[in-house]
């Protein structure tokens, strides 16, 4: 059994499309560190979730990366949505940038407590630095942290005026191949989903273990 750590049942439904019915939801509110990249955030979450659950876990972190803003809002996408709002982010792009290119990125982290060829050490170092900076270090932090494997999915597009009534978050202002994500139905969106692409990579790796 794989436990997908999320409060969003929609993520679990999407995961089952790639991984089958062996995926179930784990509603665990792990302490999220602040970092400049998605990878250490997802890695930390997977380790914390495994310590809590004691069984194989998947954790994802995702964000919108605007090329002309050096990747902002990136890992802070949810915060920017809550504080500025999606339309304000679009207006910033309109006012400041000629280059409207952007990407949705998702990093999926897997941890099962077993030894395997983990993701590179820099992820672990970045995670520990971020944990220290945000006061999230644990007492007795492991010298050798639990192995975590990371998988990234990316979908590239550009920022446009809001269109469409579907989706959520930044979907109405992110255009891919002529349509915003909010204009796509669920099947169309899932077919190009950044999370789906990460899940597909994980599924291929997991099947060969």
Tell me which residue of 106, 80, 82 sits closest to 93, measured CA to CA.
Answer: 80
pLDDT in tens, 93-112: 999 999 999 999 999 999 99
Average pLDDT over residues 4-31: 89
> DSSP characters for 123-170?
HHHHHHHHHHHTT-PPTT--SSPPP-EEEEEEEEEEE-S---SSS-TT
> Is the confidence at residue 115, as pLDDT, over 80?
no
The pLDDT, as a whole number, for residue 6 is 92
Tell me which residue of 187, 156, 188 sits closest to 174, measured CA to CA.
Answer: 156
The pLDDT, as a whole number, for residue 31 is 76
What is the enclosing helix (H) or strand (E) of 122?
A: helix 121-133
Active site residue 171: no
The pLDDT, as a whole number, for residue 67 is 96
- Does 73 sit behind a cis peptide bond, omega within 30 degrees of 0 on the bond before it? yes
> Is the confidence at residue 68, as pLDDT, over 90?
yes
Tell me which residue of 70, 74, 66, 73 sits closest to 94, measured CA to CA.
Answer: 66
What architecture is the 2-207 domain classified under in CATH? Alpha-Beta Complex (3.90)
Confidence of residue 10 (pLDDT cuts 50, 70, 90): confident
* Residue boundaries of the structural domains of the chain: 2-207
The position carrying tokens 């304000």 is 88
Task: For the chain, give the percent of residues with pLDDT over 90.
Answer: 67
Select which of 60, 61, 124, 171 is catalytic.
61
Query: How far apart are alpha carbons 65 and 69 in whole angstroms?
Result: 8
Query: How far apart are alpha carbons 130 and 207 in whole angstroms?
Result: 32
Q: Strand pairing of 179-180 and 101-111?
A: unpaired
Q: Strand pairing of 57-66 and 23-26?
A: unpaired
Query: How far apart are alpha carbons 59 and 12 in whole angstroms?
Result: 11
């Amino acid at each position: 059994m794989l436990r997908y750590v999320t409060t969003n049942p929609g993520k679990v439904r999407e995961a089952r499309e790639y991984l089958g019915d062996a995926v179930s939801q784990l509603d665990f509110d792990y302490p999220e560190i602040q970092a400049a990249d998605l990878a250490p955030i997802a890695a930390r979450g997977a380790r914390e979730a495994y310590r809590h659950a004691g069984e194989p876990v998947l954790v994802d972190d995702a964000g919108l990366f605007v090329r002309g803003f050096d990747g902002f809002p990136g890992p802070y996408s949810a915060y920017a949505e809550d504080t500025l709002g999606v339309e304000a982010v679009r207006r910033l792009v309109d006012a400041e940038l000629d280059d409207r290119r952007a990407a949705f990125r998702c990093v999926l982290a897997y941890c099962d407590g077993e030894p395997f060829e983990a993701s590179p050490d820099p992820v672990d170092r970045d995670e520990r630095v971020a944990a220290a900076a945000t006061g999230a270090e644990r007492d007795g932090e492991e010298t050798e942290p639990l192995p975590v494997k990371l998988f990234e999915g990316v979908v590239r597009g550009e920022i446009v005026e809001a269109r469409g009534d579907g989706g959520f978050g930044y979907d109405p202002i992110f255009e891919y191949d002529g349509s915003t994500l909010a204009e796509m139905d669920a099947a169309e969106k899932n077919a190009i989903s950044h999370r789906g692409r990460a899940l597909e990579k994980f599924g291929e790796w997991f099947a060969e273990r």
